[in-house]
Amino acid sequence: TQCVTCIKFLYNGQCVPSCENFNALGIHLYSNSTTRTCELCDPFCNGSCVGQGPAQCNRCLTDLFVRVNEGTGIQCLNETCIIDTYVDTNITTDSKMECLSCFSGCTAGFGCGGSLTILNSTNGCNHCNTIILKRNGDQDYCQRDPTCPSRYYQLEDDQDLFPSDITLCSPCHELCATCSGAEVERCESCMFVIAANGSCAYQCDNGTELIELLNVCISVTTVVATESNDNVNIGALAGGVSAGLIFILVITILLVLICTCIQNFRRSKIIDNQHGNAIQLPNSKQGDTAHSTIPGEHFTDGSNDDSYISTSFTK
């Protein structure tokens, strides 16, 4: 019967449980899950396949192939490798030559002549966006990023050894973290420590000490002098405060003594005047009035006066 739709797959008007059942008959099919039909493999395929086209073959009739994606079969090629791949004649699979991918640092779309990671049309990249150089000036590897990596600086090609559109990156001095040239004097930041003289170094010299927070070496004499100055300043300050307190204490004691003496003197004067007024005057007659002055006495009306007042005695 001629089926229109099937539970599994449709091939040549018949419903079949699997498209792979025809491999033994020399008919190589793959399952099209979208249309639920069995389709013929590409003519470049030698046998079975996993999908449509020459990139889905399990084996090839042609002499070349390339692995497109792992697990999705191989792409059979007729005469030449596809762009950004190359043939390694030393690697064969079932007497077929495999086209291998160029180094990832080669400029995309330009291809390569071999597996080398440098600019070399014979056995490396046909073009590079950026070439990373070694310290001796030889090529190290290519990269697609036009910016020089960390610890490298952009070098001007004064000898025109490379195409003008290629960026050249040369390594900084080994003591530099960043730089503008190859010499240690061209360091912009240090890889290890900053010496006391301001240059980059592996470690601090004798007589210097590392401040780890700043990664800077400073002279030990500077550290000692700083600590000594701090001690002197603290001692001088403490001494000054102590002397000031002693001076204030002495002045306070003197003022208390002076006030005490004045009070005692005034009291003695009052007592002497009171004793003198109590003695009878020898030249006074009966009825005469003797006058004496006593400071600070009270009037009979209760008023007070600090001036001298008159007191009368009658014989």
Which has more pLDDT, 36 or 278?
Answer: 36
Mean pLDDT of 123-131: 96
Q: What is the pLDDT of residues 134-148, one digit of tens each?
A: 999 999 999 999 999
Q: What is the pLDDT of residues 73-83, one digit of tens each?
A: 678 888 788 89
pLDDT at residue 247, as a whole number: 62
Among the residue ranges 17-21, 33-37, 91-95, 158-162, the one predicted with the least confidence is: 91-95
Q: What is the pLDDT of residues 98-121, one digit of tens each?
A: 889 999 999 999 999 999 999 998
Record the tokens describing residue 2, joined without a space: 């001629």
Q: How many CB atoms lie within 10 A of CB 140?
A: 16
Mean pLDDT of 162-174: 94
Pairing of strands 74-77, 308-314: unpaired
Record the tokens describing residue 303, joined without a space: 């008023």
CB 123 within 8 A of CB 106: no
Q: Which residues contact 129 (CB under 8 A, 6 or more apart)?
A: 107, 142, 143, 144, 145, 146, 166, 167
CA distances from 214 to 44, 121, 185, 190, 289 (A): 67, 48, 20, 11, 102
By C-alpha distance, which of 176, 185, 150, 124 is closest to 138? 124
CB 135 within 8 A of CB 154: no
Confidence band for 46, pLDDT divided at 50, 70 and 90: confident
Mean pLDDT of 224-232: 46
pLDDT at residue 291, as a whole number: 43
Q: How many CB atoms lie within 10 A of CB 6?
A: 14
pTM of the model: 0.57
Q: How many CB atoms lie within 10 A of CB 248?
A: 10
Which has more pLDDT, 71 or 118?
Answer: 118
Q: Which residues contact 290 (CB under 8 A, 6 or more apart)?
A: 280, 281, 284, 312, 313, 315
- Distance, CA of 23 to CA of 79 (rounded, Å): 27
- Distance, CA of 250 to CA of 168 (rounded, Å): 83
Record the tokens describing residue 298, joined without a space: 């009270």
Percent of the chain at pLDDT > 90 equals 35
Indicate if the pLDDT at residue 240 is higher than 70: no
Q: Which residues contact 140 (CB under 8 A, 6 or more apart)?
A: 117, 118, 131, 132, 133, 134
User: DSSP string spanning 42-63?
Assistant: PTTBSS-BSSSSGGGBSSBSSS
Burial of residue 27 (number of CB atoms within 10 Å: 0-12, 13-18, 19+):
middle
CB 284 within 8 A of CB 291: no
Most confident residue range from 128-132, 235-239, 300-304: 128-132
Q: Considering Cα of 273, then 278, then 281, then 286, what sign does the dihedral take?
A: positive
pLDDT at residue 4, as a whole number: 67
CB 175 within 8 A of CB 184: yes
